């Protein structure tokens, strides 16, 4: 039959600890296997002498449940039972998870006199399961963010198409008006400015979806605030008094659009804190000198002492509890009935990306004050001269390819204003048909990248095969970087990012035609 097996030796030297407990307060131990010290850190003698109480080693949060499970089994007719996993604290202070199988020993009347069984240390397994659950949660969160990113990118792309039509119509109307009606020209200027700001918001969506690019340069925060005055009239409550104190300050190095978002988010947050109540919102910019102590008090110990641009937004609203302050910068956290997207977490991310700090002081009923610190730069802000509308002579036939009818319409009007003859197609396949009929006339193709039936990159490759030197301008609501990645080795003559106005179209087309002309 083979060699016999010493079952006791296997148990004593293995991970299974044997116990016999008396049915009394604290479950006094009458037997413990020698390997008990490997799990509990206490010897068998310490348990047997009563120096250590088994019941007192059970974690307080689990003790009541464990006692209830024992009581239920004891009052029934059960001969054995298995505890739900519970925790004990070893001599070292470490918490150990146990699997506990217990048998009930009863007297002639059926009353339980003793419990005996074994426990197995399952701590590593429990921790591994918790780690797996945490990884699963992180994966789910990552997938959720990825889905939101795809949604944001799609919304931004479609919105850019709408803005392209708005900007184009405004530009065309201004040129047709000329100097004949200053009032209308001013109104159209406002349409252009607001459309550009809306376009800047789509860049934030594209950035969130991982498809955006930012332009870093010197930015005057005072001018950023002043440039938002028109939008603030819509955001701020009618009953709110808005106080601006804008001290002259050096520029900061950053992305103007991102910094605009920070200011708008802070003011929107202040407006929501006031609600419909009468109150005051103050915004102040100034140059401050911060010491190591003052930075530590602000929670900005990672910053070096020195000069900083400070932007402070203070409201007299409802204030925040400590719990709200702690979670304020968490993604998707909101105290409103409906979610507000990235919210203040976006602000925190932008500020950190600009090597700055943002802190908040607030108590319930006493309003809130947000303080933003950004390092100044010695670079001066470069003012961009306004581009005066000018009608440059065109000449030749252009092929416009876009699945949006409104964009084809406005481009036809704008390019006609520049003396071009315009042909149009609504997808890449149709563009190839039009080009084959009018190849001798077409001097340039302006084509969208994302279209049904046949995309811009596919059509570009086929057009290049027919005419290698044909100037082709690709357009998209996504960035030039993403366009280049989608194109691979094949490159367009130029790239036009949506939304664009008449001056930008004119500049890109003139450059593309000039570039090709220089080759011949």
Whether 339 and 306 map to the same domain: the answer is yes
Over its C-alpha atoms, the chain yields an Rg (Å, rounded) of: 36
Give the pLDDT band of residue 7 (cuts 50, 70, 90).
Answer: low
State the Cα–Cα distance between residues 238 and 215, nearest whole angstrom: 35
Name the percent of the chain lying above pLDDT 90.
Answer: 27
Tokens representing 280? 């005051």
State mean pLDDT over 426-445: 91
Q: Give yes or no for a contact between 460 and 490, defined as CB atoms under 8 angstroms apart.
A: yes
- CATH number at 280 reads 3.30.565.10
Residue 304 lies in a domain: yes
pLDDT tens-digit readout, 24-34: 888 899 999 98
State mean pLDDT over 16-25: 90
Q: Give yes or no for a contact between 434 and 461, defined as CB atoms under 8 angstroms apart.
A: no
101-110 contacts at long range (C-beta below 8 A, 24 or more positions apart): 102/70, 102/73, 103/79, 104/73, 104/74, 104/78, 104/79, 104/80, 110/77
Whether 176 and 204 map to the same domain: the answer is yes
The candidate with the shortest Cα–Cα distance to 322, out of 364, 293, 359, 283, is 364
Whether 367 and 418 map to the same domain: the answer is no
Whether 116 and 27 map to the same domain: the answer is yes
Chain-centroid distance of CA 5 in Å reads: 61
Q: Is the pLDDT of residue 108 over 80?
A: yes
Q: Angle at the Cα of 354 (from 350 to 356), degrees rounded to 5? A: 95
Number of domains in the chain: 4
Residues 6+ apart with CB under 8 A from 48: 29, 30, 31, 32
Three-state SS string across 411-480, please?
HHHHHHHCCCEEEEECCHHHHHHHHHHHCCCEEEEEEECCCCCCCHHHHHHHHHHHCCCCCEEEEECCCH
SS3 338: coil
pLDDT tens-digit readout, 446-501: 998 888 888 888 888 899 888 888 898 988 876 666 556 666 555 777 888 777 77
Residue 297 lies in a domain: yes
Q: How many CB atoms lie within 10 A of CB 303?
A: 18
Whether 331 and 430 map to the same domain: the answer is no
User: Which of 177, 208, 239 delimits the end of a domain?
Assistant: 208
SS3 content of the chain, % helix, strand, coil (to 5): 45, 20, 30
Domain span holding position 204: 137-208
Q: What are phi and psi of 140, to 5 degrees?
A: -60, -45
pLDDT tens-digit readout, 325-354: 776 765 545 555 333 334 576 777 778 878
Whether 353 and 228 map to the same domain: the answer is yes
User: Which of 180, 208, 236 delimits the end of a domain?
Assistant: 208
Highest mean pLDDT among 44-58, 180-194, 396-410: 44-58
Whether 169 and 291 map to the same domain: the answer is no
Task: Check residue 475 and give its pLDDT.
Answer: 86
Whether 360 and 249 map to the same domain: the answer is yes
Angstrom distances, CA of residue 492 to CA of 347, 379, 430, 433? 36, 35, 19, 20
Residue 13 lies in a domain: yes
Residue 262 lies in a domain: yes
Whether 170 and 311 map to the same domain: the answer is no
State the Cα–Cα distance between residues 229 and 268, nearest whole angstrom: 13
SS3 486: helix
User: Which of 208, 232, 256 delimits the end of a domain?
Assistant: 208
State mean pLDDT over 8-16: 70
Residue 478 lies in a domain: yes
SS3 24: coil
Whether 178 and 270 map to the same domain: the answer is no
Whether 370 and 231 map to the same domain: the answer is yes
- CATH number at 157 reads 1.10.287
Q: Is the pLDDT of residue 67 over 60?
A: yes
Whether 236 and 368 map to the same domain: the answer is yes
Pick 16 or 349 by higher pLDDT.
Answer: 16
Residue 96 lies in a domain: yes
Residue 215 lies in a domain: no
State the Cα–Cα distance between residues 354 and 204, nearest whole angstrom: 15
- CATH number at 478 reads 3.40.50.2300
Give the pLDDT band of residue 195 (cuts 50, 70, 90).
Answer: low
Residue 389 lies in a domain: no
């Amino acid at each position: 039959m083979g060699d016999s097996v010493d079952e006791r030796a296997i148990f004593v030297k293995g991970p299974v600890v044997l116990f016999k407990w008396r049915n009394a307060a604290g479950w006094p131990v009458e037997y413990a296997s020698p390997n008990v010290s490997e799990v509990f850190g206490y010897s068998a003698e310490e348990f047997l002498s009563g120096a250590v109480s088994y019941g007192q080693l059970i974690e307080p949060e689990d003790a009541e449940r464990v006692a209830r499970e024992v009581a239920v089994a004891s009052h029934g007719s059960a001969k054995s039972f298995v505890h739900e996993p519970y925790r004990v604290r070893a001599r070292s202070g470490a918490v150990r998870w146990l699997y506990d199988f217990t048998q009930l020993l009863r007297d002639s009347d059926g009353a339980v006199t003793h419990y005996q069984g074994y426990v197995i240390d399952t701590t590593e397994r429990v921790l591994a399961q918790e780690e797996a659950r945490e990884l699963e949660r992180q994966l789910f969160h990552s997938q959720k963010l990825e889905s939101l990113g795809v949604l944001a990118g799609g919304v931004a792309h479609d919105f850019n198409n709408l803005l392209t039509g708005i900007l184009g119509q405004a530009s065309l109307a201004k040129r047709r008006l000329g100097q004949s009606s200053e009032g209308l020209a001013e109104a159209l200027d406002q349409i252009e400015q607001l459309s550009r700001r809306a376009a800047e918001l789509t860049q934030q969506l594209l950035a969130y979806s991982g498809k955006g690019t930012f332009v870093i340069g010197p930015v005057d925060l005072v001018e950023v605030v002043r440039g938002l005055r028109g939008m603030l009239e819509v955001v701020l409550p009618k009953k709110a008094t808005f106080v601006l104190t804008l001290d002259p300050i050096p520029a900061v190095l950053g992305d103007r659009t991102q910094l605009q978002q920070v200011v708008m988010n802070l003011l929107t947050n202040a407006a929501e804190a006031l609600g419909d109540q009468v109150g005051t919102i103050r915004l102040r910019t100034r140059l401050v000198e911060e010491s190591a102590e003052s930075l530590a008090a602000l929670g900005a110990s990672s910053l070096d002492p020195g000069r900083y641009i400070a932007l402070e937004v203070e409201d007299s609203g409802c204030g925040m509890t400590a719990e709200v302050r702690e979670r304020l910068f968490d993604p998707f956290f909101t105290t409103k009935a409906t979610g507000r997207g990235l919210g203040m977490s976006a602000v925190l991310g932008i500020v950190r990306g600009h090597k700055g700090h943002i802190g908040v002081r607030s108590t319930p009923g006493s309003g809130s004050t947000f303080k933003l610190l950004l390092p100044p730069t010695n670079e001066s802000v470069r003012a961009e001269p306004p581009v005066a509308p000018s009608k440059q002579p065109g000449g030749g036939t252009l092929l416009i390819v876009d699945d949006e009818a409104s964009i084809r319409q406005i481009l036809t009007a704008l390019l006609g204003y520049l003396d071009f003859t315009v042909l149009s197609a609504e997808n890449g396949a149709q563009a190839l048909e039009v080009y084959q009929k009018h190849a001798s006339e077409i001097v340039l193709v302006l084509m969208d990248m994302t279209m049904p039936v046949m995309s811009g990159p596919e059509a570009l490759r086929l057009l290049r095969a027919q005419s290698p030197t044909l100037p082709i301008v690709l357009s998209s609501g996504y960035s030039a970087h993403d366009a280049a990645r989608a194109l691979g080795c094949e490159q367009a003559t130029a790239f036009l990012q949506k939304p664009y106005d008449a001056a930008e179209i004119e500049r890109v087309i003139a450059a593309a035609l000039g570039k090709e002309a220089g080759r011949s």
